[in-house]
Amino acid sequence: MSVSVSSPARGITTVTLDLPERRNAISADLLGALAEIFDDLGGDTDTRAVLLTHTGTTFCSGADLKEPPDPAAFVALLRQLVALPKPVLAQVDGHVRAGGLGLLGACDMAVAGPGSSFAFTEVRIGVAPAVISMPLLPRIDPSAASRYYLTGERFDGAEAARIGLVTAYAAEPGSMVQALLDGVRAAAPGALAETKKLLTARVLDAFDHHTDDLIALSARLFASAEARDGMGAFLERRECPWAL
């Protein structure tokens, strides 16, 4: 099973990405499992908020390049997370790459630990951070977005907090997460849902107006000769042909 789900503990349900041998890569199976879980949690009166976490040293490595997921299904999951009437908080103490950053950006809050690292690696394999831009660009400092989108370079949890990608960086992320969840536990469920609507209105508007164009862009780039070369080089652990 690629995802595990706990029973609610004082109103918090934990969803764990649990396929460490595949670096929790985004596959059709993972998307289907998460969509079903979040559909159930949206109407679960025992769940006040959701904690999204992971096993292994990688939170999410992005798309499974051996079996790339359907971009439309990925966008649907991101929108589902943004629109969920309950806060979603991510706890990250591992690597996050490419599409995994979109999953992170669709959460309402995120805490990064010392084992975390981040990179928008799309340009290095011949594609672009297309659909994930809808939840991410409203969050990230614009100059930082330009730097990290265009270079694909790696950065740490402290930098992720500085640029707004995550809510906070903590040496002991579990303690910070519990403090945030205690704040959510003190809030009225209806007020949480309405407040989340205020916070996510612009992002949902982006999904409503730009989804089709960005899915088409993603599909076109993944089918390009550059992407074939880039993904082949990545899977074969060799340098891309355009690297200088």
Q: pLDDT tens-digit profile of 35-49?
A: 999 999 999 999 999
Does pLDDT of 217 surpass 80?
yes
Q: What torsion, rounded to 10 degrees, do the Cα atoms 56, 4, 181, 172 define? A: -10
Provide CB contacts within 8 A for 172, sequence distance 6+. Answer: 113
| pLDDT for res 65 | 86
Domain ranges of the chain: 3-171
Distance CA 3, CA 50 (A): 14
Q: What number of residues does the chain have?
A: 244
pTM: 0.95
Count the Cβ atoms, other than its own, within 10 Å of residue 130: 22
92: three-class secondary structure by DSSP = strand
Does the pLDDT of residue 1 top 90, yes or no?
A: no
pLDDT digits (tens, 9 = 90+) for 144-173: 999 999 999 999 999 999 999 999 999 999
- Summarised one tens digit per residue, pLDDT across range 50-87 is 999 999 999 999 999 888 889 999 999 999 999 999 99
Residue 203 tokens read as 């992002």
3-171: what CATH class?
alpha beta
Cα separation, 77 vs 55, whole angstroms: 20
